[in-house]
Structure 1
Amino acid sequence: MASPGLAVRDATTLDVPSITALHAHEADTGVSAYECLAPSEAEMAKRWQASVQQGFPYLVAELDGQFAGYAYASSYRAREGYRWTVEDTVYVLPAARGRGVGIALLRSLIDVCTRLGYRQMIAVIGDGTSTGSIALHERLGFLAAGVFPGMGWKHGRWLDNVQMLLPLGAGRGAPPDRA
């Protein structure tokens, strides 16, 4: 259930410090980010700017005017044939989990990507034990597409990589609107 005072908007330069801190927390303690060393604020600013310049949505959620999480879409793969497929990324502050932030961010991201003409969204979930992330994606219609066992090594163990898929718009049922 969404909390009162929950808003989703486009990220701005002013959000980069909060985005960096949340990403650092995930890189240091979690299995969502396969980075073992947290990137600097300058690096995160570069990533945000590159994403926006490429036309991908990059969103922030606020609870009562305070940063609560972020989400963005990126290219699934670099090859031209994949240009209609995006990968989603969603991070929510631990204190904001269970308050509708993740679903609001992901629903908004899906809506924007659909309007932009993308046809598939892929969730690449860092580990099979990430049941909250899996449940979030299932709630919005993502289907399991595969599990890659032992794809990454972090925190002294091998991590499975779960991939889920959501068709957008006409999905693969029709050619894209633009070439």
Structure 2
Amino acid sequence: MLPEEYERRRVLPQHLRAPAHREPDFAWSIRPAVAGDLPAVRDIYKHYVLNSTVTFDERPKTLGQWRRTLREAGELQLPFLVAESATGTVVGYAIAQPWKQRAAYRHTVESSVYLAPAAAGRGLGKALMVALMDATRERKVREMIAVIADQGADPSIALHRRLGFEEIGRMGRVGVKFGRELGIVLMQASLRKRR
């Protein structure tokens, strides 16, 4: 038998091959957070606190701190959203919080979006960010600020640009985590304009 004949015979015809494993579509729904979501939110954020420099927090927030965050979001009428998978698992969250405490900043918020590691790279980050921007716009907020760590942040910066954020500044070496000096990229989007 010639080598090329052997190669043709080694490959099974399509109808005899096992069906290729195809991961089911990743479906989710986005809704306002409730108290029962907070343990999952805590665990998602804890992963980034302990394993990355995307947040400058060095200690995970407690469940009590997350309860306070949810309560404050309600009092300020700012969105705190979660993404829930088709199986009912919280796989990400997004929140808009006051940019600064002084009253004159009341029309400006800072955005945060975090995903469970298994949910990354599937379009959920963009969906959560768009939902957060829309929900924040409905509350008559004018400006949204994103504070992004400057190391390994290229995908986040690119996403924010696609959603209408503009880079407004950089601050170098303002944080130290895991023994590394870190800076931030500041990005801003006007919520008065439609995308």
- Report the TM-score, using the length of structure 1 for normalisation: 0.89
One-letter amino acid of the counterpart of residue 105, structure 1 = L
1:17 aligns with 2:27: no
1:43 aligns with 2:58: no
One-letter amino acid of the counterpart of residue 122, structure 1 = I
Aligned to 1:63: 85
One-letter amino acid of the counterpart of residue 103, structure 1 = K
Find the aligned partners of 1:138 and 1:94 in 2 and give their Cα distance: 22
One-letter amino acid of the counterpart of residue 59, structure 2 = L
After superposition, the CA RMSD in angstroms is 1.5
Give 1:96's match in structure 2, choosing from 119, 127, 149: 119
Find the aligned partners of 1:63 and 1:139 in 2 and give their Cα distance: 25
Find the aligned partners of 1:116 and 1:43 in 2 and give their Cα distance: 24
Aligned to 2:101: 78
Aligned to 1:28: 50
Shift, 1:127, TM fit: 2.6
Greater CA deviation, 4-13 or 100-109?
A: 4-13
Shift, 1:118, TM fit: 0.9
Consecutive unaligned residues in structure 1, runs of 5 or more? 172-179
Structure number with larger C-alpha Rg: 2
For 1:135-154, list aligned pairs within 5 A: 135-154=158-177
One-letter amino acid of the counterpart of residue 163, structure 1 = L
Shift, 1:170, TM fit: 5.0
One-letter amino acid of the counterpart of residue 41, structure 1 = L
Find the aligned partners of 1:163 and 1:146 in 2 and give their Cα distance: 5
Percent identity between the aligned chains? 35
Find the aligned partners of 1:48 and 1:71 in 2 and give their Cα distance: 12
Aligned to 1:53: 75
Consecutive unaligned residues in structure 2, runs of 5 or more? 1-24
Deviations 1:117-162 (A, max 9, x none): 1111100112342122212211211111111001111011011111
Find the aligned partners of 2:106 and 2:75 in 1 and give their Cα distance: 15
1:165 aligns with 2:181: no
Contact 1:150 1:160 (8 Å CA) reproduced:
yes
Secondary structure, in 3 states, of the residue corresponding to 1:56? Answer: coil
Aligned to 2:29: 7
Runs of 4+ in 1 over 6 A off after TM superposition: none
Secondary structure, in 3 states, of the residue corresponding to 1:151? Answer: strand
1:139–1:112 CA distance, 2 compared to 1 (3 A): same
1:132 aligns with 2:148: no
One-letter amino acid of the counterpart of residue 68, structure 2 = K
One-letter amino acid of the counterpart of residue 5, structure 1 = A
Contact 1:76 1:82 (8 Å CA) reproduced:
yes
Contact 2:26 2:122 (8 Å CA) reproduced:
no
- Report the TM-score, using the length of structure 2 for normalisation: 0.82
Deviations 1:39-61 (A, max 9, x none): 21122222222222221100001
Find the aligned partners of 1:154 and 1:5 in 2 and give their Cα distance: 34
